Structure 1
Amino acid sequence: MTPKRLFLIVLVLAALWSGYWLAGAQGAKVAIGRLQENMQASGWEAEWSDVALRGFPNRFDVTLDEPALAPPGGDWRWTAPFFQVLSLSYKPHHLIAVWPNLQTIELGGESAQVRSDRMRASVVFVPGLALELDHAALVIESPRLQGDTASARARELRLAIRPTPGRENARDIGITALEPRITTYPGAPDVAARNVRADLAVTLDGPLDRSALSRAPRVERVEIRSATVELGQSRLRVTGDLAAGRGAYAEGDLRLVVENWRAMLDAAVASGLVPQRMAEQIRGAMGLLSSGEDVDLTLNFADGQTRLGPVSLGPAPRLGSGD
């Protein structure tokens, strides 16, 4: 093959690849515009000041400047200086999401700043137009949350999600917080845990795809395979299986095993998480239920109520919004 012919072949291939990238870039911009329109039509606030697309020739790197996002009803609102979605041009169904080091969340009339050293997620969709989520993983290094009064931080926060084998519309969710610390008000001692881990299986009423933005999927079942909080010399372990009943109130049982419960309660009172007057009631009840420093009890949720044996403890939690 002559050098001239080889040059022509390379030139043609480069032209074809450039055309593919330009077509993909244009398609990405159209998709972003349609996503924004669909979200706004469904009642979401979805705004940004500009959209930039870079990465030629091997990447599609999308940057949204000054994004603002809030669900229908405005229960919360998120804003940031920018948000990025990165992907390889030959693997568009695998995305890398990048958040800035500073973000703002408004919740319940209060505003909180979220800071981190690094926050990224790997998101993989099932190939196709439905954009159904296959699996994802989020890692936040040194997250710090500062509200008007309370604050929280951790060494690292991880979240992973994947399909639950053999169960339709269900996802396995793993959550790990390394060395989390919570301050309930200025001057209060921190609630410092060694680790917090949770292994869950959550079943929704439909697929987790692009349609979820408009139909707001509901939680039908939460299986807590294991949830553990290690606080000083104390440990709380939770297992259970809850389903959404009438009004989305939880129905089912939760088993709670607390090791060295007195030390855990003392730490919660000192930090302000549990009021002193409530602590005395808890001490009395736990003293009857425990045989020492450990306690093993089961909470039952039924008919919209939470019960410990025959004693009603108040309304049951909701797994979602009720009708």
Structure 2
Amino acid sequence: MRRVIWAALVLALIWGGWWIWAAQAARQATEQWFADRRAEGWQADFGGLDVSGFPLRFDAVMTLPALVDPETGVAVTTSGVTFSAPAWWPGDVTVRLPQDPVTFASPEGRATLDMDQAVAHLRLKPGSALDLEAAQVTSGAWSLSAHMGDVLSAADLNVSVQQVAAGQASYTVALNAAGLQPGTVPRTALRVPTNWPLTFDKFALDMQVAFDRVWDRRAIEVARPQPRSLRIDLAEAAWGDLQLRAAADLTIDAQGTPEGTLSLQARNWREMLTLAEAAGVLPSAVRPQAESVLSALAQATGDPRSINVDLTLRKGLILLGFVPLGQAPQLVLR
């Protein structure tokens, strides 16, 4: 019995020593990371860092973090962030955002994000690079607003990211947001009628994205990985009388120009053209031609309100057969 007690005491001392060393190492690594960013020209500060959770967890509370990327001009500030991980592997991290707003600023303007009970669960690969293997983000009611007014809100948010295979730069992504509601800013820009429904009936996305490298700590320290292929298995949105389903298989070059096919199923497509024209996505000079072609396609399906069409993205253009509908968007992560 005495040997068992001594063994237990020795193990407890070893574990306690490990926990204290790891907690101190985490604090020093965090301070060094912020110092390295400042040396690169960032504004990178935080008010304080408190580590607790002995003996089975590391629970860190960081107050007043502030980051400004000098290359993009993007700034993020908040009152605090909580990190939690099991002591035996700190790579399984849970991140909790505060209940008060997170503020974003960029050369384009300033925005605030309010999220209720926002939690991110991250699974990181062991090693100094901290490759992202999986992430799950959940939140209750949330809203995004800018100085012009409300931008977007929803009753909840669920985002899942999963690495396709170890070491690969391909990820599956699933997103759902119940009660998605465009705010006054997009409704004004799109000239949405005042009697239009406030919320989407459905908003969901399932896709697989391959990047030029894996997502790891360099995504913050150096630059964001850039997409090189995109396969959308299903993108679905229903807003009032408008219903849209899409699928895509695209390759993306180093400049972010996509090429490939995009399949669309749309109901009440004329209203969609009106919204796209109001938003500046569809040039007014092109609309009559696009409407004529889409009308012919809709008549071929037997329902003049619906279309089922395959579009081609090539050389920076969106084409319906040989008819250009507009410029293809540049898919670049800043």
Give the TM-score category using the shorter length.
Answer: 0.7 to 0.9
Q: Distance in 1 between matches of 2:61 and 2:244?
A: 42
Q: Where do 5+ consecutive residues of structure 1 fail to align?
A: none
- For residue 246 of structure 1, report the CA deviation from its aligned partner: 5.6
**Paired letter, 2:214:** P
Q: 2:308 aligns with which of 296, 300, 319?
A: 296
Query: How much is the aligned-residue C-alpha RMSD, in angstroms?
Result: 3.0
- For residue 204 of structure 1, report the CA deviation from its aligned partner: 0.8
Matched with 2:96 is 98
- For residue 208 of structure 1, report the CA deviation from its aligned partner: 1.8
Q: What is the aligned residue count?
A: 317
Matched with 1:155 is 155
Matched with 2:136 is 137
- For residue 298 of structure 1, report the CA deviation from its aligned partner: 2.4
Matched with 2:13 is 15
**Paired letter, 2:124:** F
Indicate the larger mover: 155-164 or 109-118. Answer: 109-118
- For residue 314 of structure 1, report the CA deviation from its aligned partner: 2.9
Q: 1:86 aligns with which of 84, 87, 95?
A: 84
Q: Distance in 1 between matches of 2:130 and 2:256?
A: 27
Matched with 2:218 is 211
Indicate conservation of the 8 Å contact 2:114/2:143, yes or no. Answer: yes
**Cα deviations by residue, 1:215-265 (Å, 9 ceiling, x for unpaired):** 432211111111100223432011011111362211112111112335656
Q: Where do 5+ consecutive residues of structure 2 fail to align?
A: none
The question of 1:314 aligning with 2:326 is answered yes
Matched with 1:115 is 114
Q: Distance in 1 between matches of 2:315 and 2:281?
A: 28
The question of 1:244 aligning with 2:247 is answered no
Report the identity percentage: 25
- For residue 62 of structure 1, report the CA deviation from its aligned partner: 1.7
Q: Distance in 2 between matches of 1:24 and 1:304?
A: 51
The question of 1:230 aligning with 2:238 is answered yes
Q: 1:254 to 1:116 in 2, by over 3 A?
A: same
Q: Distance in 2 between matches of 1:193 and 1:173?
A: 20
Q: Distance in 2 between matches of 1:18 and 1:47?
A: 30
Indicate the larger mover: 251-260 or 130-139. Answer: 251-260
Q: TM-score, normalising length from structure 2?
A: 0.83
SS where residue 172 of structure 1 aligns? strand
Q: 1:120 to 1:6 in 2, by over 3 A?
A: same
**Paired letter, 1:297:** V
Q: Distance in 1 between matches of 2:39 and 2:319?
A: 42
Matched with 2:67 is 69
- For residue 56 of structure 1, report the CA deviation from its aligned partner: 1.7
**Cα deviations by residue, 1:123-181 (Å, 9 ceiling, x for unpaired):** 00122232111111000110111222233210111111111259931001111111100
Q: Distance in 2 between matches of 1:31 and 1:321?
A: 27
SS where residue 266 of structure 2 aligns? strand
Indicate the larger mover: 278-287 or 312-321. Answer: 278-287
Matched with 1:202 is 209
Stretches of 4+ aligned residues off by more than 6 angstroms: 274-277
Indicate conservation of the 8 Å contact 1:247/1:321, yes or no. Answer: no
- For residue 41 of structure 1, report the CA deviation from its aligned partner: 5.1
